A and B are shown apart, each in its own frame.
Chain A
Amino acid sequence: MKLKIILKYFFSGCAITLLSITVIAQEKRFVPTGIRIGIDLSLLGISAFSSNRRGYEINGDIDFDKFFLVWDIGHEYRERISPLFNYNSEGDYFRIGFDVNLINPRKNQNNNVMFLGVRIAKAFYDDRVTFSIIDNNYVIIDSFRRNFGLVANWLELTAGIKVRMWKNLYLGYTGRLKFSKDLKGDEALRPFDIPGYGKSGERSLFGINYYIT
C-alpha cells in the first residue's frame, strides 16, 4: 500500500519532469543532457554493519542548464534497544526538489555539480514498542503499543557536490537541513524515528548522505 503511494508520487514526479522537459526544452540551453541515477552509500554501509538499522535509498537527477530536478526514494528499518524498551520503525519515504548548480555550465565539461537546493519530503511508516515500566502504585507495566499508517512531511535545504570520478561515475555528498516537520497518526505511542528524517522529537536536524551516481 505504502509502496503504491510512493510509486504514485514517483510517477507523478516523472510526469512533471517530462512535462517540464517539453516546456522548457523550447529554449535550447534548457535541453537535458542526461539523467543520473545513484544510491546512498552511507545507508548501504550502515545496513551492512548494523543489525539495528537497514535500508536503501535511490536517487536521481536531471539537468536543465544549471538547474536540476532531483528525487530520492528510500526504505528504512530502525530499531532502538534499551533495557526498558525495544522500539522499531519501518517505512518508505521520498524527496523531490530542485538544485541549482553554482558551477557555470559552459565551463563545466565534466558535468560536476556544486549545488544548493530545496526538497519536499514525505514518509509513510509503522512503528511499535515493547516496554517495561515499574510504577510504584500500580502493577508493573509490561506491554506493547503500535502505530499504523503514520505520515510525516518535512522540508529540506540542501548543499553538496557531485564530482566526476571516471567516465559516467560520480561521487558526492548532500548535506541536509531538515525542518518544518509535520507528523500525523500518532496516538498511544509517540513515534521516536521517522524514516528519511531521523528522530521525530527534533524540530530540525542536520543530515548527510554520500552518493555514488
Chain B
Amino acid sequence: MKIFGVMLIIFSIAGCSEIVDCKRETKTTARISFFKKTDGTSLEIAFDTITAIGTDSIFFTVKDSLSVYDIPLDPNSISTTFIFIKASVTDTLNLGYENQFIIIDQDCAPEIAFDNLEIINTSFDSLKIVERRLLIEVENNIKIFL
C-alpha cells in the first residue's frame, strides 16, 4: 500500500511542476533570396520600395541593398500580394498560405503560424519555392532568379 501513497505524491507533483517555454518556432515572414539567372550565384539588389496590398507600410527602400529579404505576410488573410518597384519596373508576387492561431501557453503571447506557402501569381520570370513551411530554422522559402 505504501507504493500507492508514493505514486499519489508523484502524480500530484507531476501535475504541478510545469515549466512554461514561450519560445517561438514559427515566423510571420517569408524569406526571399535573389540569384543571378546566368550562373546561379547570389545577387545583391536594391528596390526603390517593397510594399504589399493591404498595408501602408514600406518594408524595404532603396537604402536596403540585399540578396535576402524577409517579407511579412498578412495574418488577416490567406494571401498577400507584394509589389517590388525598381526604377520604372514594377513586379508583383502574390503568395498564398494557410494560417493558424496558436496559443503556446496562457502566459505567452499568442501567435499566427503560417504554412503551405505557394505562389499564386507573379510577374517574375524565374522563381521557385524551396520551403513551404515558415519556421525560424528555415533559411530560404523562395528563390528568384534575375
Contacts and interface: CB of A to CB of B under 8 A. Distances in A.
B126 interface: no
Interface residues of A, number: 34
B96 to A, nearest CB: 15
B82 to A, nearest CB: 11
Q: Which label, helix, strand, loop or mixed, suits the secondary structure of the A interface?
A: strand
A36 to B, nearest CB: 18
Interface stretch (A12-20, A55-63, A69-77, A131-139): A131-139
A192 interface: yes
A132 to B, nearest CB: 9
Nearest to B16: A206
A208 B1 contact: no
A100 to B, nearest CB: 14
Contacts of A84: 109-110
Nearest to B4: A161
A45 interface: no
Contacts of B75: 133, 135, 138, 141
B12 A138 contact: no
B47 interface: no
Interface in A163-213: 173, 175-176, 186-190, 192, 201, 206-208
B12 A208 contact: yes
A73 B144 CA distance: 56
Interface in A17-56: none
A17 to B, nearest CB: 26
A160 B5 CA distance: 9
A192 B74 CA distance: 23
Given A135-B75, A138-B72, A159-B4, A82 B107 contact: yes
A2 interface: no
A129 B55 contact: no
A85 interface: yes
Nearest to A193: B103
A137 B59 contact: yes
15 contacts: A80-B106, A135-B72, A137-B57, A137-B72, A138-B72, A138-B75, A176-B11, A186-B100, A187-B100, A188-B99, A189-B100, A189-B101, A190-B102, A206-B11, A207-B11
Interface of B: 1, 4, 7-8, 10-12, 14-15, 28, 52, 54-55, 57, 59, 72, 74-76, 99-104, 106-107, 109-113
Given A133-B111, A175-B10, 17 more contacts: A82-B107, A85-B103, A135-B72, A136-B72, A138-B75, A139-B55, A141-B76, A141-B112, A143-B76, A159-B4, A176-B11, A188-B100, A188-B101, A189-B101, A190-B113, A206-B14, A208-B11
Interface of A: 80-82, 84-85, 87, 114, 129, 131, 133, 135-139, 141, 143, 145, 159-161, 173, 175-176, 186-190, 192, 201, 206-208
